[in-house]
Amino acid sequence: MSPQPSNMRIEGLSVALPSRFQDSEIHHVIEQLSLSIDQGKTFALVGESGSGKSMTALSLLRLLPEGLHIRSGKVLLDGEDLFALREMDMLRIRGRRVAMIFQEPATSLNPVMTVGRQLIEVIERHGVAKGPAAQALALEWFSKVGLPEPERRIHAFPFELSGGQKQRVMIAMALAAEPELLIADEPTTALDVSLQAQIMDLLKQLQQERGMAMLLITHDLALVSDVADHIALMYAGEIVESRRSRAFFASPRHPYGKLLLRALPKASDRGQALAAIEGFVPSMRQTFNGCRFAPRCPWALQSCHEQIPNLDSHREVRCLRDGELLDFQQLPTTELGQAEPSARQVDAPSRDQSSRLGLAGELLKVRGLRVRYRRSRTWFEAVAGIDFDLRRGETLALVGESGCGKTSLGKALMGLLPEDARVDGQAHFPEDGLQLIPRDSSRKLAIQSRMQMIFQDPFASLNPRMRIQQVLEEGMLALKVGLSSQQRLDRLQELLEQVGLGPDALNRYPHEFSGGQRQRIAIARALAVEPRLLICDEPTSALDVSVQAQILNLLAQLRDALGLSLIFITHNMGVVEYLADRVAVMHEGRIVEQGGATRLIEQPQHAYTRSLLASVPRLRT
């Protein structure tokens, strides 16, 4: 049987970051990376934020940011080296033969052009169709990717769409030219599980019908176990394990893979700290004398810090101790990379919900909340009259498909909706009578000192012209928290440590961080003023599983220690099972079912809830 042909083969790819000083050592962001992506197959590239996954994807299409350059290697598309082509030739390949779904749709879409015009432009540029036929094809693709009301959305601008809807537009634009290879960088991050299943079914169909290959970059290991044929685990610019997907999930051989799988939240972990990996992914400018993972590895020997490991003879694992008996299950919990608690981190989350919430008073009461947006001559009702209560120290998870009104609800409580939006109903803090809705500008500072919001899109919510220290200090200064400049600096360094970033982040700008790292900064900013209520809009969707574990541990610890309440908007049912006390399921602007998390997940009553849970990908081992 002849070997299966490769759509793309990458040989010895190295990407360099110029030194800040003349004649200094060159730093490799990616070093000697090799892999093959076969026709009709899915190759998954996984690893923590900052490991070089997105940089690898951009390298393949020669779209590296300014300052980075390809130092060596080849990228062969059906035997043709893309690195040897003229830019004019690359323009014919990008989008037509090789297409890419970018990680952050908000920064990839033209803000002053309708999404329909942008999709039609792609269709026409690559000669797929022209004129009315191109518009009809655009409507067909919007329907295929699950964009609601495609006839209306085709005339919408990006700012009029939710994060999940913008993501679907990007997927349609990538698929419309029928590429041979799709590079999908976090394609389903902003999508609910139902839409994720729909999109992945569509991609599988295209692979079967056209032999399309896919390079999938994602933090969702359950999704990878469900769809990937092969997986490569990346750390600090290197492949540390590359194996068939089924073999990897059955028994990962590299310590990094073992620890990542252990960090996934599960219902059985409820009430105890998740096993986050201690430490951080090294910076792009760091040099190495030994294994790059050794400083974080609980199994590392002295030789691991002194010898640089190579991939084994089968090009599968990069570890000096591969082949030894590494009894992962019996390793003491304290050695599993759990950072020592900081001054603000206390015990593991309380397992006994009744003891934590039994005597807790009501923090928030919402009655008849409606949110409507102006749509030409009519009004669109995004939130259609909902009621709920929230107790001190309680976590309420809001789940439902993209566009069902979850984010509108959160922004209504925070007073962050556009001026032309209409908000009706009542919301207040019963303990002191502070009223959130109806809104009054005189209460703005009082409300913001009690509640903060972590936004879905960290790139759009961070000022690109401010250093991270200014971003984090802004709320503390505005709300007059009464700390000296040194006390504020100490607090900021503590916050960065808690969310998994080093103190050097304070002097850097948002664009210098990966998407996951920017989300950690957004979380630190929200925590800086010590609010009573956090509204978390997909706060872990951009995070890898290890940092997700750190953040969930932190939020649970703060909730238990300080009586902090959380409204947690998420598509990740694993997070819901681990963190939530109660769950409210939203559909078309209404809460269709709510109840205790365990009961609702195990015994859903509403048909929509059952459908939502049936779409959740489960880790296959």
DSSP secondary structure string for all residues of 347-358: SSPPS-HHHHHT
Whole-number pLDDT of residue 337: 38
Q: Which parts of 479-534 fold into alpha helices (H)? A: 485-498, 515-527
Task: Please report whether residue 111 resides in a domain.
Answer: no
Question: Which of 599, 542, 534 lies closest to 571, judged by CA?
Answer: 542
- pLDDT at residue 543, as a whole number: 78
Within a domain: 393: yes
**What is the residue range of 563's domain?**
355-614
Q: Which residues of 391-415 are buried (b: 16+ CB within 10 A; e: fewer)?
A: bbbbbbbbbbbbbbbbbbbbbbbbb
Which pLDDT belongs to residue 1?
39
- Count of domains forming the chain: 1
pLDDT in tens, 263-315: 998 877 888 888 888 888 888 778 889 999 999 999 999 999 999 998 876 77
Contact (CB, 8 A) for 310 and 318: yes
What does the alpha-carbon distance between residue 240 and residue 312 come to, in Å, rounded to a whole number? 10
pLDDT for residue 301: 93
Yes or no: say if 460 and 453 are a contact pair by the CB < 8 Å rule: no
- The CA radius of gyration of the chain, in Å to the nearest whole number, is 24
Q: How far apart are CA 205 and CA 208, in angstroms?
A: 5
Q: Tell me the CA end-to-end span of the chain in Å, nearest whole number.
A: 29
Structure confidence by residue, pLDDT tens digits, 384-423: 999 999 999 999 999 998 788 999 999 999 999 988 899 9
User: How far is 601 from 603, CA to CA, in rounded Å?
Assistant: 6
Phi-psi region of 90 (alpha: psi -120 to 50; beta: other; left: phi over 0): alpha
Q: What is the pLDDT of residue 18?
A: 72
Question: Rounded to an integer, what distance in angstroms lies between the CA atom of residue 207 and that of residue 254?
Answer: 30
User: The domain spanning residue 477 has which CATH number?
Assistant: 3.40.50.300
Q: Residue 183 is inside which H or E element, if any?
A: strand 181-185
What are the angstrom distances between the C-alpha of 224 and each of 34, 248, 591? 20, 11, 31
In a domain, 470, yes or no: yes
HEC sequence for 267-279: HHHCCCCCCCCCC
The number of helix segments (H) and strand segments (E) in the chain equals 23, 20
Classify 388 as helix, strand or coil: strand
Does 530 map to a domain? yes
Any domain includes 2: no
What 8-state DSSP symbol labels residue 51? S
Can you state the percent helix, strand and coil of the chain, rounding each to 5?
A: 40, 25, 40
Q: Quick check: is 81 in a domain?
A: no
Residue 100 placed within a domain: no
Regions of the chain with pLDDT less than 70: 1-6, 19-25, 313, 325-360, 515, 621
Nearest to 460 by CA among 159, 72, 22: 159
Please give the Cα distance from 500 to 335 (Å, whole number).
18
* Measured distance CA(264)–CA(276) in Å, rounded: 9
The pLDDT score that the predictor gives to residue 353 is 58
Owner of token pair 């962050």: 416
Q: Is residue 244 part of a domain?
A: no
pLDDT in the model for residue 326: 52
